[in-house]
Structure 1
Amino acid sequence: MKKLLLLAVACFLLSAIMAGEGQAADKVEIALVPPAMVSPFYQAVIKGANEVAAKYGYELQILAPDREDDAAGLLNIVETMISKKVNAIALCAMDEETSVTAVKKANAAGIPIVLFNTLVDLPSGDVFAYVGYDQRKGGAQVAEYVLSKIQGDIKAAIIEGLPSSYTTERAGGFNDVAAKEPRLKVVVSQAADWEREKAMNVVTNILSAHPEINVIFGLSDEMGIGAGQAVKAAGKTINDILIMGLDGNESAFDAIRKGLTTGTCDVNPVGIGTATIETIHKALIGESSPKKVVTDTIIVDASNVAK
Structure 2
Amino acid sequence: DDLMVGGPKKESQTTVAVVSPALTSQYHVQFVEGAVEEGESYGWKVQSLAGDRETNFAAQVDLVESAVRKGVDAMTICAINDKAIVGAIEKANEAGIPVFIHNSLTELEGVDIAGYTGFDQRKAGRLCGEYAVKILSEKNSDATSTVYIITGIPGFHSNERVAGFHEIIDQHPNIEVVGSGPGNWERLGGMNLAETALKANDQVDLIFAVSDAMAQGAAQAVQEAGKDTMTLGLDGNPDTLKDIQAGVVTASLAVFPKEMGKIAMQNIKNYLDGEAIERRNETPLKIIDASNVGEYLN
TM-score (norm 1): 0.89
Hey, what does 1:118 align to over in structure 2? 104
Given that 1:139 and 1:173 are in contact with CA atoms closer than 8 Å, whether structure 2 keeps it comes out as: yes
Cα-to-partner distance string for 1:52-103 (whole Å, 9 max, x where unaligned)? 1122111101111101111111111111111111100110111111232232
In structure 1, the gaps of 5 or more residues are 1-21
Cross-structure match for 1:15: none
Among candidates 281, 289, 295, match of residue 277 of structure 2? 289
Q: Of 170, 178, 190, which residue of structure 2 is paired with 1:187?
A: 178
Find out whether 1:276 has 2:264 as its counterpart.
yes
Q: How does 1:74-89 map to 2 (within 5 A)?
A: 74-89=60-75
Is the CA contact (8 Å cut-off) linking 2:130 and 2:169 kept in structure 1? no
Give the secondary structure class of the aligned counterpart of 1:35: strand
* 150-159 vs 38-47, which moves further: 150-159
Identity of aligned residues (%): 36
What is the distance in 2 between the residues matched to 1:108 and 1:184? 51
Q: Tell me by how many angstroms 1:121 deviates.
A: 1.1
Q: Secondary structure at the match of 1:64?
A: strand
> By how many angstroms is 1:24 displaced?
7.3
Task: Please give the root-mean-square deviation of Cα atoms over the aligned residues, in Å.
Answer: 1.6
Is the Cα contact below 8 Å between 1:263 and 1:300 reproduced in 2?
yes
Structure 1 match to 2:154? 163
Q: Which residue of 2 aligns with 1:145?
A: 131
Matches within 5 A, 1:212-231: 212-231=203-222
Residue 51 (structure 1) shift: 2.1
Residue 83 of structure 2 is aligned to residue 97 of structure 1: yes
Residues 20-31 of structure 1 mapped to structure 2, 5 A cutoff: 25-31=11-17
Instruction: Say which is worse superposed, 182-191 or 268-277, in terms of deviation.
Output: 182-191
Gaps of 5+ in 2: 1-7
Name which of 198, 210, 217 aligns with 1:207: 198
Q: Which residue of 2 aligns with 1:252?
A: 240
Whichever residue aligns with residue 129 of structure 1, its letter is: G
Aligned residue identity for 1:115: I
Is the 8 Å Cα contact of residues 119 and 292 (structure 1) preserved in structure 2?
yes
CA contact (8 A) 1:65 1:73 kept: yes
2:254 aligned with 1:263, yes or no?
Answer: no
Q: What are the Cα deviations for residues 16-68 of structure 1, in whole angstroms up to 9, with x where unaligned?
A: xxxxxx99742000000100011010111012112211221111011111011
Tell me the SS of whatever aligns to 2:291: coil
The 3 A distance-change label for structure 1 pair 204 and 286 is: same
Distance 1:139 1:25, change over 3 A: same
Report the counterpart of residue 288 of structure 2 in structure 1: 300
Q: For residues 96 and 229 of structure 2, what CA distance do their matches in structure 1 show?
A: 51
Identify which of 73, 76, 87 aligns with 2:59: 73
Name the CA distance, whole Å, in 2 between partners of 1:30 and 1:135: 25
Q: Hey, what's the Cα distance between the residues in 2 that align with 1:113 and 1:101?
A: 13
Question: TM-score with structure 2 length normalisation?
Answer: 0.92
Q: Deviations over 1:98-143 (max 9, x none)?
A: 2322321210110001000011111210101111001111111111
**1:166-200 CA distances to partner (integer Å, 9 max, x unpaired)?**
01111011100012122222221100100001111
Q: If you compute each CA radius of gyration, which structure gives the higher value, 1 or 2?
A: 1
Indicate conservation of the 8 Å contact 1:71/1:98, yes or no.
Answer: yes
- Which deviations, in whole Å up to 9, do the C-alpha atoms of 1:134-153 show, x marking residues without a partner? 11111111111121122232
